[in-house]
Amino acid sequence: MEDDERIAAVEDVPADGSFLFTVSADGEEREAILVRLSDGTIAGWLNYCMHWTDVALDTGDGAPTRDGELVCRKHAATFEKDSGVCTHGPCEGARLDPVEIVVEDGDVYLADADYEFVAAGVEDDDPVDLSTSPGSRIGF
Ligand code: FES
């Protein structure tokens, strides 16, 4: 794998929470997360709830988790870490957008032809204002 596609060391991905990073697609930056699964493997997802797609799961301090699932802070939708499927909440049945990654020699690399790796973390670390943020939304 290329060094410029290296996201993080495997050990940087917490067992609980998530590792936040930035990718770009067609010149537009997107937030993404790495999560550690119960078997120790790692999965990658875009960092946006499927209910209101402008709401980040990880706002800079790791995505909340409960019973091994990711939890959206806004309306408490839960997502399986391995499949990305929403198991409960207003977007039940929807699936987080996957980001393909590969683990090699203790490091996690971006391996998704749709995205380019930009940086670990996000440039603007201001927390998302969940009360006023605009964006595409499905009602519930
Ligand atoms: S915005 Fe995530 S559950 Fe509503």
Confidence of residue 136 (pLDDT cuts 50, 70, 90): low
Domains parsed from the chain with CATH numbers: 3-120 (2.102.10.10)
The pLDDT value given to residue 139 = 58
Percent of the chain scored above 70 by pLDDT?
Answer: 88
Q: CA 25, CA 92: separation in Å to the nearest integer?
A: 27
Q: Convert the pLDDT of each residue in 69-96 to its tens digit.
A: 999 999 999 999 999 999 999 999 999 9
For the chain, helix, strand, coil in percent to 5 are: 5, 40, 55
Which residues lie with the beta carbon below 6 Å from any ligand 1 atom?
Answer: 49, 51-52, 55, 72, 74-75, 77, 89-90
Is the pLDDT score of 130 beyond 60?
no
pTM of structure: 0.88
